[in-house]
A and B are shown apart, each in its own frame.
Chain A
Amino acid sequence: MPVDKAMADAILDTYRNMYREMEEKGVESESFQAMANALSRMERLAQETDDIVAFTAKLTTENLFIEFSNAYSETMSNMVKEEYSTGGGDELLLEKTLEAYENTIKTLEDHPNYELLKTPLEDLIELGRSGVSYPVFLRIAEEKGLYKAMEGDVVLREALISDKTFAEFMHLPLEMEKCEKILKVHDKLASRSPFKVADSFEFGLERQKIDWQYAPRINHWNLVIRLWDKMLDNVHDWLDSFCSFAPYDERWADRRGKVYTMRNIKRTQDCNPGIFKVREKIFQEYFQMGWKDIFNHETFLNEYEANRVWYSDEALDLMKKTYPYCVPFNKPDPELIQEAEVIHAEKRYKRPEAFQYSSEDKKKFISIFGKEKWDEFFGKYEK
């Protein structure tokens, strides 16, 4: 069965358009034939392969993207040389350049940053149509940094600010720190440049370096959270499994009937301490931390501040009191079970603000994605 047509079109349309553009110009050359061969192989693969991963893997391993692009560059380059030598000269080059910019603007129409992207192109077209010669056009474009601006530096900076705001919205301190550094390095390069636009190549290197520096720290941070999160659940569930509400709680209730439900409860009562102890051991082995370290650890404090700790303070305190009892073949103190019953009856186990966004968070989200998206994702949860 061929690859899904919409997905194949999304990949191949660019190449089809480039081929059509040359065909309409009546090009006949060896390199144009090479374009045709590469494209026809791509079309055949879209019919012969049965999923998109296999299709893109074939396109890449058979080098078809590169073969096509190389042939296209060669065809274009030959065309320009031919036109230049037939007497068009500078005026023709200027005209061709401006035509290319005009076409680019058309292709950008659906781009979310259309307005920002088209401005430098329009500036270049305006300059080119102002009656200046080709070399003057080229010089002014260099001096005003229009080429660099055309590489999308304004859009890039906007995107960097959005990344930073998103990290703030998500309350991710390492990502915030990383985005801040990336933005700083961008602005430093821009200020150092004679045209006040960051060199995109140099910025790319700096950015890779910062991403590289933060990757292990971010992995470490996420792994710590993943481990303590499961430990909290183990202790909390263990205590609750001894409560009178357990048979009616979705954690244990089994659609097959009461016998199964009671067996689920007994499994938690009997096994959670043993399971918890191994988790505690892994936590120790990984990070040389124990149960008590969780609550003062920067990851916990941050998750708490970010409203991502689901349990109420009361529930957390109860877990701390339950911890000494949570050892294999043991049971919790009856007083703790009593406390858990009360907390459950009054629905005080969950922090009211858990997974709620502050008005500051809301502002940040809207500044990146707009009010419509906020309403779409979070509107229904707002009081």
Chain B
Amino acid sequence: MEKRHQEYMEYYQARLKKYENNSLYPHSYQSEKELCEAIANSDNLDEFGRKVEDGNLAVENAIALVKDQETARKKLYQELKEEIRLHAPLRILDVIDTLKTDLELTNTVSEIEGEVSNEIALDLFTEEIYYDLLSLEEIEVFQSAEVPDEWKQEINQDYPQELITMGREDWNESVIPNVHKWDPEWQYNFDLIWEERHRRLIPIPDEVLKKRIEQFKIYRGI
């Protein structure tokens, strides 16, 4: 065996070792193993080159790595019930076996990541209700505080109404124009609040959250 051939063989063995005993990378391990066997069973580097080209082994190797990583991401997001983030690995895994070149692979992956990153950004606007809790509590506090008659108008009416007016102005002049830059059709979807990824971040009981959602609708004029 030529010296250069031997050197490349040792290089591929080092790559294989990286994935040994790591259950996260079964496809990569298999693909590296195929490359190792291909070089070991070739008489020279030209023959190995032909095997790599004919079997599309280099691209298959890149695909194997993406497959392993996306499978791991899929598993994690399923476990965490992160439904929107899950879209990226699902869509990548859905098309990965149809890809034939390295460019197709990188382009497809970055296009899907781009799409899903927009979906995540839009989904995160659901958390507006969490950031509004303080204002919603203040409105409730002032609307329902038991106070002498002379203060009822100011405390129970005027001040909470002022907060609501400010909340609506901010929603119409700042929040909505901002979201519409990402999706002109976007509308707040109250059902999403109850999905695990959002619900778990709002540390109050369901009954109170139901009440807060109704207040949120009034506060933001939705």
Residue positions of A touching B, CB distance < 8 A: 53-54, 57-58, 60-61, 63, 65-66, 69-70, 73-74, 77, 90, 133, 135-136, 138-139, 142-143, 194-195, 199, 201-202, 205, 208-209, 212, 215-216, 219-220, 223, 226-227, 267, 270-271, 273-275, 277-279, 282, 285-286, 328-329
Contact = CB atoms under 8 A, between A and B. Distances in A.
A116 to B, nearest CB: 23
A21 to B, nearest CB: 19
Given A57-B182, A70-B107, A139 B11 contact: yes
Contacts of A139: 7, 10-11, 14
A70 to B, nearest CB: 4
A60 B18 contact: no
Contacts of B145: 271, 274-275, 277-278
A270 B106 contact: no
B205 A286 contact: yes
B181 A219 contact: no
5 contacts: A61-B182, A70-B110, A139-B10, A219-B201, A282-B141
B114 to A, nearest CB: 5
Contacts of A215: 200-201
A61 B72 CA distance: 28
Given A70-B111, A133-B7, 12 more contacts: A60-B182, A66-B113, A66-B114, A73-B106, A135-B4, A194-B18, A195-B18, A219-B130, A226-B134, A227-B137, A285-B208, A286-B208
A270 B7 contact: no
Q: Interface majority SS on A: helix, strand, loop or mixed?
A: helix
B76 A208 contact: yes
B203 A223 contact: yes
B69 interface: yes
Interface string B103-117: 100110011011001
B142 A275 contact: yes
Q: Interface majority SS on B: helix, strand, loop or mixed?
A: helix
Contacts of A136: 7, 10-11
Query: Which A-B residue pairs are the 10 nearest by beta carbons?
Result: A274-B145, A57-B181, A220-B203, A135-B7, A139-B11, A274-B146, A142-B14, A328-B146, A135-B8, A70-B107
Contacts of B107: 70, 73-74
Interface string B1-23: 00010011011001101101010
A54 B147 contact: no
Nearest to A271: B147
B156 to A, nearest CB: 9
Interface in B186-203: 200-203
Contacts of A69: 110
Nearest to A224: B203
Contacts, number: 137
A282 B14 contact: no
Contacts of A208: 76, 80
B144 interface: yes
B155 interface: yes
A225 to B, nearest CB: 12
B168 interface: no
Contacts of B148: 270-271, 329
Nearest to B16: A142
B76 A209 contact: yes
A74 B204 CA distance: 51
A82 B41 CA distance: 28
A66 B73 contact: no
A70 B76 CA distance: 28
B176 interface: no
Contact of A282 (B111, B137, B178, B202): B137
A135 B48 CA distance: 14
A285 B203 contact: no
Contact of A60 (B24, B80, B118, B151): B118
A307 B10 CA distance: 60
A278 B69 CA distance: 51
B86 interface: no
With a 10 A CB-CB cut-off, give which of B80, B137, B202 has the most chain A CB atoms: B137
B151 A286 contact: no
Given A74-B103, A195-B18, A61 B110 contact: no
B74 to A, nearest CB: 11
A276 B79 CA distance: 42
A205 B18 contact: no
Interface in B131-154: 133-134, 137, 140-142, 144-148, 150-151, 154
Contacts of B15: 142
A60 B117 contact: yes
A194 B20 contact: yes
B83 interface: no
Nearest to A267: B151
A182 B103 CA distance: 35
A63 B114 contact: yes
B133 A223 contact: yes
A270 B151 contact: yes
A77 B147 contact: no
B211 to A, nearest CB: 9
Contacts of A54: 181
A70 B114 CA distance: 12
Contacts of B20: 194
A44 B15 CA distance: 45
A329 B73 CA distance: 59
Contacts of B79: 209
B157 to A, nearest CB: 13
A271 B155 contact: yes
